[in-house]
Amino acid sequence: MKKHSARVAPLSACNSPVLTLTKVEGEERPRDSPGPAEAQAPAGVETGGRASRRCWTCSRAQLKKIFWGVAVVLCVCSSWAGSTQLAKLTFRKFDAPFTLTWFATTWNFLFFPLYYVGHVCKSTEKQSVKQRYRECCRFFGDNGLTLKVFFTKAAPFGVLWTLTNYLYLHAIKKINTTDVSVLFCCNKAFVFLLSWIVLRDRFMGVRIVAAILAIAGIVMMTYADGFHSHSVIGIALVVASASMSALYKVLFKLLLGSAKFGEAALFLSILGVFNILFITCIPIILYFTKVEYWSSFDDIPWGNLCGFSVLLLTFNIVLNFGIAVTYPTLMSLGIVLSVPVNAVIDHYTSQIVFNGVRVIAIIIIGLGFLLLLLPEEWDVWLIKLLTRLKVRKKEEPAEGAADLSSGPQSKNRRARPSFAR
């Protein structure tokens, strides 16, 4: 795997695609100072050829990144929508959301082994598992992953991870998957509000507007079903899940900062280990108290459980490591595109009613999500673009007037030699 200086914050399983990046160091190549021979005509043609070759290479690289971006968007959209639909299908035969959460989180243990396989296949400087593990453990400090670090820096995020997934899956039991997927998009607005308050991030008016749109969308989505207790509970569960996910991200940035790809993979695998060691007792207690009870293991839809876990694992892998091949904004679009996919599936498989209020709520939340994807310097770029357009409009009339004034003179000049003859 190629070494990148980009650093990502490992996301919650039901987390929105907001990647925490640090400075990306690009490769700066020194420009060759033009010598005396380059002023000659052949050298000028050569430098022009080099420039065109660089432009062609740049365009090819950009096209390749966009192509990978489309593939990543489709993968994020299909895995997210597929896992949501499979969870809904699983609850028809296996009504145990916490057990499903525990089972899917256990698969997080595969993150670091999969990362190491990629490291062995792609990296030129191949390290052993022990060496790679020790290097990634530096993320937790000079002493590495000690028992104290495990309980102070990993365990709280394991609890938040479990709560995020459990609340999300429990909401799927109450309301349709379209409402669940679109309401969870408010996660990005909660991340901004918490980052602004806790991390003192830069204030942006457009993001405040996006947060207001998200809150308005939540209220309208609740009103769409007439404030029935069943739908209100489901909406409250989704909002709580989005809040837990936002708290996970902000606390990670506050306490741990950001992580490289190997460090992120190790951290997510540690969450899987924490789930196995300390969360396993909860599904057992729920089973014997008959809160989440099933008659026999043969009745469990293992295909749905494993399919859900694989899709969720794929979603998290692409969401955390897709930045290596494409732009973060393109990955974020996969979450938004999963909403219409779930809507189409719900239209044919359930009795969802797309009234005007629900449609407007979906549009408002989606618009707020897209506004949050704007970069911090979007206003500066917009001002520069408008300034360039104004300059071009002023230059076009001036050039047109110059062409009209020079037109008759050029005709006269061309006509003089013929008359002279």
Q: Could you tell me which residues come within 8 angstroms of residue 217 by beta carbon, excluding any fewer than 6 positions away?
A: 182, 183, 186, 361, 362, 364, 365, 368
* Cα–Cα distance for residue pair 206/208, rounded to 1 Å: 5
Q: Count the Cβ atoms, other than its own, within 10 Å of residue 209.
A: 14
* Mean pLDDT value across the chain: 79
Q: Give 334-355 pLDDT, tens digit per residue.
A: 888 899 999 999 888 887 778 8
Give, in degrees to the nearest 5, the angle at Cα 12 between 227 and 276: 110
- Domain hosting residue 337, numbered range: 68-380
Output the six-digit token pair for 202. 């830069």
Report the C-alpha gap between 172 and 188 in whole angstroms: 20
**Residue 316 burial (CB count, 10 A):** 22
Q: Considering its fold, how many domains does the chain have in total?
A: 1
Confidence check: pLDDT of 23 > 70:
no
Residue with the larger pLDDT of the pair 122 and 91: 91
Summarised one tens digit per residue, pLDDT across range 46-98 is 445 554 455 555 577 777 777 888 888 899 999 999 999 999 999 988 989 99
Pick from 158-172, 290-304, 319-333, 340-354 the range whose average pLDDT is largest.
158-172
The reported pLDDT for the residue numbered 412 is 47
* Residue 105 in domain: yes
Task: Determine the Cα–Cα distance for residues 159 and 245; give it in Å rounded to an integer.
Answer: 11
Phi, psi of 163 (to 5 degrees): -65, -40
Task: Report pLDDT digits (tens) over 278-287.
Answer: 999 999 999 9
| Domain contains 7 | no
pTM equals 0.78
CA distance 253 to 22: 11
Q: Which two tokens stand for residue 384?
A: 């520069």
CB 355 within 8 A of CB 109: no
Structural tokens at position 295: 């008659």
Task: Examine residue 27 and state whether it is found in any structural domain, yes or no.
Answer: no
Domain membership of residue 62 (yes or no) is no
Cα 354 from chain centroid (whole Å): 27
CA–CA separation, 7 and 257 (whole Å): 9
CA distance 135 to 226: 55
Per-residue H/E/C for the chain: CCCCCCCECCCCCCCCCCCCCCCCCCCCCCCCCCCHHHHCHHHHHHHHHHHHHHHHHHHHHHHHHHHHHHHHHHHHHHHHHHHHHHHHHHCCCCCCHHHHHHHHHHHHHHHHHHHHHHHHHHCCCCCCHHHHHHHHHHHHCCCCCCHHHHHHHHHHHHHHHHHHHHHHHHHHHHCCHHHHHHHHCCHHHHHHHHHHHHCCCCCCHHHHHHHHHHHHHHHHHHHHCCCCHHHHHHHHHHHHHHHHHHHHHHHHHHHCCCECHHHHHHHHHHHHHHHHHHHCHHHHHHHHCCCCCCCCHHHCCHHHHHHHHHHHHHHHHHHHHHHHCCCHHHHHHHHHHHHHHHHHHHHHHCCCCCCHHHHHHHHHHHHHHHHHCCCCCHHHHHHHHHHHHHHHHHHHHHHHHHHHHHHHHHHHHHHHHHHHC
Residue 304: CB atoms within 10 A of its CB come to 19
Residue 33 in domain: no
In a domain, 365, yes or no: yes
Residue 414: inside a domain:
no
Report in angstroms the alpha-carbon separations of 358 from 224, 347, 352, 354, 391: 5, 13, 10, 6, 44
Q: Are 318 and 59 contacting, i.e. CB atoms less than 8 angstroms apart?
A: no
CA-CA-CA-CA dihedral for 140, 143, 147, 150, to nearest 10 = 0
Q: Does residue 324 register a pLDDT over 60?
A: yes
Take residue 64 and report the two structure tokens written for it: 């390749």
pLDDT, tens digit, 9 for 90 and up, residues 212-260:
888 888 888 888 777 666 788 999 999 999 999 999 999 999 888 888 8
Token representation of residue 146: 């000690």
Evaluate whether residue 325 is within a structural domain.
yes
